Chain A
Amino acid sequence: MGKLKEPYNLSPRIQWLRDYYFKGTQRNWNNESKCFTTGASDDVIYDEFSFYIVPEVHTFFNTFAKSFVIGAKKLTLPEDFYKRSLPERKAFCISQAITEHMPQEVLPGDLLCGARFNISVTRALNKRETKAFVKAVRGKGGTRERLIEFKDRGYGNCGPTSGHLIPDYPTILKEGFSGRRKYFQALYEKLTEDEKRGAKGNNLRAMMLSTEMPVALSKKYSEECRRLADKETDPARKKELTRMAEITARVPNEPARDFWEAMQSLWMTHMLVMTDENYPGPGVSFGRLDQYLYPYYKKSIENGEDREFLKEIVKCFFIHANTAYDAMIRTGTNQGITAGYGQLFNLSGLGKDGMDQTNELTYMLLDVIDEMSPILEPKPNVRLHKNSPEKLLDKVVEMISVSQGAPFLLNFDERSMAGMLREAKKAGVEKFIHPGNVFEYASVGCLENTMCGNDRSATVDCNLNLLKAVELALSDGQELIPYTDSVWGKPYTAKSAAPRTGDPRSFRNFEEFYAAFLTQVRYIVKEIVRLYNDADNLRAKYCPTPYLSSLVKGCAESGKDITQGGAELNFVTIEGVTFATTVDSLLAVKYLVYDKKLCTMDELIDALIKNWEGYEVLRASALNKAPKYGRDDDEADELGRKVMEFWSEECWKYKTDTGKRFRGGMLSWNYWIGSGYILPASPDGRKKGQFLSNAICPVNGADINGPTSNSNSVGKVLGGFAEKGDYMHYVNYLPNGASHTITLNPSVIRDAAHKEKLKAFLRGYIANGGTALQINILDADMLRDAQKHPENYKNLLVRVTGYNAYFASIGKELQDEIIARESHKSV
């Protein structure tokens, strides 16, 4: 049985903070959600849009909507409250809630201030707005009803979700909020009087107001530190608290001058983004931490500060980031949900002229990850490229070998940058993404590549089951099975509105079937765009986030809130779910019906309707004999590439009314499990109720030729290579990248010589593979034991699709899945 990775080299301070964190609900206080209301009887607090993409909670929307209001504390509103514009009302409410109603506490030994940021604050709507909003969301034909039917019929889900972006933190470190305020003031003064009275003026005033919030809150923390320092008897701690009082009195209002100030400024600024979005924002990410923090690190080292102490500050930062999970502290056993935060940061990577940018801070942060892991947040992404230094690869491989797999995600610059540059062309934003700055990309959420500080990336806002198009092509647009309302349990009676692509029994060859499939892909993309656009319009009109807007370039300049398309870059990703199941299903139709004629189309359709009952032999052929994606089989992979290219091109065609361009992505969070129960059996041999394929990974067990062939297939379907690629010779259809998880046999890390082999694999992946890779190294026996005795494995971390979760908390289905994958591995 393998040994679990344990944290090491933790000072008593950090050990205590870490242990205390893991006490969960037994802590004296935590970061559970607190609600605040205007006091209006019909007040809206709960942000259901952010949960449209979380099907597990769809049935609780009414309950949440009510209970949030019932338990909410009333804010003190000024008399002219409803005369102010909505963004100003919103900024006012958030600011009052966090600065005046939440206590400020500092844990023993903690070196950073800022907790209890998880609050749900009234949408601050007036009567008229409330009525219109509630009707459009909850009424007949409203976004909620349509979204639930969309999900129930196996299309997927979508919703304008919070988080998933990288705010412009470096500017705050450099200028402080005081600098921002001055800048906004100048912009405001340039507005005409009409503009000042209109939306632009409202938004800018709200942003200016928002910049006061971190300052007011920091001041309170400063007072608390001073109070604690006064009564502290330990001189060392007294000194720390005194310094913390000084720091919080200064930042984030003023520029940071050293590493401690920078970390405090960063945490406070970041934490309040999660406050502003009313949900501990999934995927609010830090960007290239080792790059923009480096000057402060250098300064502190030059000032003679101890590197170990600077590490302590980073470790406190890690603990603070983990408190995002307190939002779900009592319900955190639901599949996937516990893993939903994804405050990412990137390390290393290319710079200008192909130079590697690894620095001392990169290694320091890697040390912190190594010493602290297993821990969930923040999530590191290490960027690799063909000039990555040996020392970095050695460290990466060493960390993979002592942890249970990689305690970080690996990002691959060449393929990733190809995607970003393709995006620049497709969306006509070469002004903001070009060869001179593309290397500044970073990742949000799980692995989604975006630009930093100016990109409303909205990754995972749309999750579309590509397999639905196969079902529609097989049914002349009419669906193969009846679908049921997940809230009321009633069958849907409305007929499918999908195009009639013809009775597939009359198709003479695979090409005709494939053409029908493409028509259906066009349709399902259009449908998700339509649904998303309606919800996005509502968010833009009723749910401003002025604080976040003050932190994203373009919003102040355009006088638009970020929800209204204010950022310089505005995108919505449609994540293609079930890619491999879809490709394998097409391959199986071709093989079974047309190439080998093992059955007629009529028989295949009957088999799928009957969930393969009575068709066991045909199903065995589909599973075992039909070609599959993920084996480095050029023909199969070429079909995969064609599907990828087509569907990504379809996505580029659309924009929201707020000006956000759609783009294709490939990430499945946990939908490949849930949708597996909804969608009918598929031609690849999958039964209804079996899982779908995950992100860009081959169907589980299909990659019989091992990790290299699997990786080659991934690279090929992303576009492979071309003489004139998007970046160098790399082509990448998916600008956000694609989630790829590989489980390696422990033999690749068993000794020094074998670690070199793992390095060789990584170098190969840089050349041939995809954009991002999660490496797991697990053995089945350990997992089975963990399933039986979860109490012994509380810290066993598994990573799936680039999100990580504690094994004990992910639910039996996913556990079984991971065990099955482990057991199939050749020895």
Chain B
Amino acid sequence: MSDTALVLDIQRMSTEDGPGLRTTVFLKGCTLACKWCHNPESIACFPELQWHKERCIGCRKCMNGCHNGAISFHSSGITIDRSRCSGCFVCAENCPTEALAVKGKRRTVDELFKMLIKDCAYFGNEGGVTLSGGEPLIQADFASGLLRKLRDAGIDTAVDTAGNVPYAAFEKVLPFTDRFLYDIKLMDPARHKALTGADNKRILENLINLAHDGAKLWIRTPVIPGATDSEENISAIADFIHTCLEERIERWELCAFNNLCKSKYAAMGLDWAYNNAPLMHANTMRMLVSAAAEKFHSKALVSYTGAVQNQ
């Protein structure tokens, strides 16, 4: 279905998804399932229910509204039997506190376009709209239609991708995309597969193709404790960028691990392997940045972002 897309969220005045001030639209569904994913609600390709315990006032309107008996109530709140949920979401509609929230809503290009241009005045010379996810290129036809419409309106466009889609998907959006924010997580294919659910062959090939097709690129590497944070991994990525992309990138951001999604996992009734993982140390991040920049002509290409702990 290309006339609508499953939209997870829209974030306005985003300062972290490309140049300038941007409105970022998150499409739902991903071809990877990274163990550290900080948007777990973005992975599945269907709408999902979240329950935020701290907002619940125990009114039972959700339980009473559920035709499938999927919600049960007990002393510490509610339990959702997700296997019995038919996805009607009457429960969330009934919930007065928004403790129950549906993640994922189908929207048309025109609907989205109207919402995305509301902040036009703030985009200035650099800002614009970023299409993110999940993996926005799963819905490549829709993405292409939306990006074209934005481009026609003179708005700067960016696509934030993990790259694990057929190159044909990139070809659909390439003419209407000013810039790609592209993830390289791990260079080791086996570890990549073990930690994200897929190996990185297609991801790296697509990236080389994009560079050759002249796309503007911002590379992003999540720096995850025990997973991607080795100097070896960062240096290997630097090698790849240096040799295979000939440094044809605008910047490379090392994104320090973010633990704020703890509550998201809890809300979806999921365990998270990184529940107790510490934030990265500032020194480690600085060290990785210099390891990364070592091979580059322009050292300023590399920087780190995100919350860190100071020693």
Residues of A with Cβ closer than 8 Å to B? 616-618, 620-621, 623-625, 632, 705-709, 712, 745, 747-748, 753-754, 756-757, 759-761, 763-765, 767-768, 827
Contacts and interface: CB of A to CB of B under 8 A. Distances in A.
Contact of A760 (B11, B57, B97, B122): B122
A620 B123 contact: no
28 contacts: A616-B59, A617-B96, A620-B59, A620-B97, A625-B96, A705-B12, A706-B13, A708-B12, A708-B13, A708-B21, A708-B118, A708-B119, A745-B15, A753-B19, A754-B15, A756-B126, A757-B21, A757-B127, A760-B20, A760-B124, A760-B125, A760-B127, A764-B21, A764-B119, A764-B122, A764-B124, A765-B122, A768-B121
Given A760-B127, A765-B122, 14 more contacts: A620-B57, A620-B96, A621-B96, A623-B97, A625-B98, A712-B118, A747-B15, A757-B21, A760-B21, A760-B123, A761-B122, A763-B124, A764-B119, A764-B122
B16 interface: yes
A715 to B, nearest CB: 9
A621 B125 CA distance: 41
Contacts of A632: 118
A142 to B, nearest CB: 49
B1 interface: no
Nearest 6 A/B pairs, CB to CB = A764-B122, A620-B96, A760-B124, A767-B121, A621-B96, A764-B121
Contacts of A705: 12
Contacts of B119: 708-709, 712, 764
* B11, B19, B59, B97: residue with the most chain A Cβ atoms closer than 10 Å: B97
B273 interface: no
A624 B97 contact: yes
A602 to B, nearest CB: 19
Interface string B251-270: 00000000010000000000
Contacts of B21: 708, 757, 760-761, 764
B212 interface: no
Nearest to B115: A632
B95 to A, nearest CB: 8
B55 to A, nearest CB: 8
B165 to A, nearest CB: 29
Contact of B122 (A617, A621, A624, A708): A708
Contacts of A621: 96
A706 B97 contact: no
Instruction: Please indicate which of the listed interface residues A747, A764, A765, A768 has the most CB atoms of chain B within 10 Å of its own CB.
Output: A764
B82 interface: no
Interface string B110-136: 000000001101111111000000000
A705 B9 CA distance: 11
Interface SS of chain A: helix
Nearest to A760: B124
Given A617-B59, A620-B97, A827-B260, A756 B121 contact: no
Contacts of B97: 620, 623-624
Nearest to B14: A706
Nearest to B307: A827
Contacts of A617: 57, 59, 61, 96
Nearest to B124: A760
A342 to B, nearest CB: 30
A748 B96 contact: no
Nearest to B93: A625
Interface string B129-164: 000000000000000000000000000000000000
Contacts of A756: 20, 126
Which one of B16, B122, B124, B126 has the highest number of Cβ atoms from chain A below 10 Å of its Cβ?
B122
Nearest to B22: A757
Given A617-B57, A620-B59, A706 B12 contact: yes
Nearest to A751: B303
Contacts of B260: 827
A747 B306 CA distance: 10
A616 B56 CA distance: 12
A624 B96 contact: yes
A6 B187 CA distance: 47
Nearest to A768: B121
A591 to B, nearest CB: 12
A624 B11 CA distance: 19
A617 B260 CA distance: 29
Given A616-B57, A620-B57, A756-B20, A763 B13 contact: no
Nearest to A632: B118
Contacts of B11: 706
A624 B94 CA distance: 12
A229 B119 CA distance: 62
A421 B57 CA distance: 51
B100 to A, nearest CB: 11
A97 B171 CA distance: 84
Given A706-B12, A708-B21, A747-B15, A760 B126 contact: yes
Nearest to A712: B118
Residue among A705, A754, A760, A765 facing the most chain B CB atoms (10 A cut-off): A760
B89 to A, nearest CB: 14
A756 B125 CA distance: 10
Contacts of B57: 616-617, 620
A759 B98 CA distance: 35
Contacts of B96: 617-618, 620-621, 624-625
A31 B211 CA distance: 70
A492 B181 CA distance: 66
B111 to A, nearest CB: 13
A496 B50 CA distance: 49
Contacts of B118: 632, 708-709, 712
Contacts of B15: 745, 747-748, 754, 757
Contacts of A757: 15, 20-21, 127
A708 B10 CA distance: 13
A496 to B, nearest CB: 33
Contacts of B126: 756, 760
A729 to B, nearest CB: 13
A827 B20 CA distance: 18
Nearest to A616: B57
B12 A624 contact: no
Contacts of B125: 760
Contacts of B59: 616-617, 620
A618 B57 CA distance: 12
Nearest to A766: B121
Contact of A624 (B19, B98, B123): B98
B214 to A, nearest CB: 23
Q: Which of B20, B121, B123 has the most CB of A within 10 A?
A: B121
B259 to A, nearest CB: 11
A106 B224 CA distance: 64
B16 A709 contact: no
Nearest to A747: B15
Contact of B13 (A624, A707, A753, A767): A707
A156 B21 CA distance: 40
Contacts of A768: 121-122
B121 A747 contact: no
A392 to B, nearest CB: 16
A708 B59 CA distance: 35
A403 B3 CA distance: 48
Q: Which of A620, A621, A757, A761 has the most CB of B within 10 A?
A: A757
Contacts of B16: 747
Contacts of A624: 96-98
A709 B122 CA distance: 11
Nearest to B11: A706
Contacts of A765: 122
Nearest to B97: A620
Interface in B155-196: none
